[in-house]
Chains A and B, each alone.
Chain A
């Protein structure tokens, strides 16, 4: 069972796995600053200079107006990139008092999404979550690799794209989790390559990565089996 936080941005509805949500703030609680070169430098190296090109209203293209992405300052003084979803996907520029900032961390990188309001948290079985078909193209797949079908019997059923924060920021989540940057460990300090590699890999991250790989393998295997069974059943039924 997966828990998905559903939120609204303009007229569009999006989802975010609850496990990806670190915290939620009122938008009025946090200072929001335009993305300037100085602030960009203060952000972690993984994000700095990697702000993806976004054109308004979700179209493809390059970013000419960087007001779609701002910097948001946490009470402790830490800065994080804030993606203004109402502006990006609905051309909505007027802030409302109900807006929320959803913080989501990718490894050590803090990212945030501005939402008009948070609707609810929905529970879902794996069979109500679909992979986005590849025909949608690279950027759609990076940002929204899966889609959630809301509603049970008697309820209105809608399709809601689920956001992948790592894909949104163009961060390689695997590399983020497992490997330290080479400057952290000077190669000269190690006896040989094996020691260098073993010191580069954080044991806790490695464990996480192994668990994730196993989970991914099991769910892919299951999906394939379900697909084959469906095809077989349809063929047997003569459709």
Chain B
């Protein structure tokens, strides 16, 4: 079954729980705007590609396309706990590129928190240049990953371009 998200409000965002241990007792989520979320679908088979960076888990099929599956936690250098039964995949669009993230069933579509503050420390993220911002609110820590940076600049670092 495929779930389509309507872009019915600019202030609503999707929270994807990170497969990471709690930080100071608070959960960590990745935050995406609805404009970034193209589709949510059931887990598909992943084809590993030799020599890929550790955070690129492989390729999967989406409709008639082949899309890379990435582990954001590993990419950002966060401590992570591999999920045994991730049930869903979230297709993220970044300009003309796509990437798929694993997600548990606990996806949350929420209004953008009214109050948030930058956390005191983000030492638990080692690749800070790939993060647009981290906010602390009642939901926990919200991490805004720099998807164009990850899919472009990051690969430039790898390829040495």
Contacts and interface: CB of A to CB of B under 8 A. Distances in A.
Interface string B135-151: 00000000000000011
Nearest to B161: A138
A135 to B, nearest CB: 5
Interface residues of A, number: 29
A6 to B, nearest CB: 13
A159 B61 CA distance: 8
Interface string A203-239: 0000000000000000000000001000000000001
A60 B48 CA distance: 14
A135 B155 contact: yes
Interface stretch (B22-30, B62-70, B119-127): B62-70
The binding surface of chain A is classed by DSSP as mixed
Interface in A100-157: 127, 130, 132-141, 143-144, 147, 149, 157
A29 to B, nearest CB: 27
A88 B51 CA distance: 11
B158 A137 contact: yes
A34 interface: no
Interface in B16-45: 38, 45
B66 A58 contact: no
12 contacts: A12-B50, A88-B50, A130-B65, A133-B97, A135-B154, A140-B52, A147-B66, A157-B61, A158-B47, A159-B59, A161-B47, A161-B50
Interface of B: 4, 38, 45, 47-53, 56, 59-61, 64-68, 70, 96-97, 99, 150-152, 154-155, 158-160
